[in-house]
Structure 1
Amino acid sequence: MPLGLDADLLEILACPAPDHGALRPGTPEDADAAALTCTVCGRRYPVTDGIPVLLLSEATGGPEQSAQG
């Protein structure tokens, strides 16, 4: 399993944003990146030392950054 995350854990993790969705390993640019990407909003959450950091303040990408760019 990518990132060393348990498959059962990955199945129950979800994006903490109000428009939440399932998370998938990696990013659209790099499937092996140490991150989880929301399948709905596109936010990317880092995985540090095998621990997903599911804080909106730590997320990159998503609707806010698309609106700024």
Structure 2
Amino acid sequence: MQGNNRANIKVGATVSVVLKKDQGSGALTQGVVQRILTNSANHPHGIKVRLEDGQVGRVKVIHGDGH
């Protein structure tokens, strides 16, 4: 599932994000959503989230909803 739609992303979900430092390479980092930072319903580059380890990135893939 793609990470462009805020409604698809839940706190506690396992996701893959692109960190700011990895935007050039597109490298993905996997983690668990701690907080959703984007307020709009959709974002073309992916919804921005903070992971439980404190890293911030835009969601590219949603692996599970955490429930």
For normalisation by structure 1, the TM-score amounts to: 0.31
In our comparison, the structure showing a higher alpha carbon Rg is 1
Higher strand share: 2
The alignment's TM-score, normalised by the length of structure 2, stands at: 0.31
Q: Which has the higher contact order (CA 8 A, sep 6+)?
A: 2
Higher fraction of helix: 1
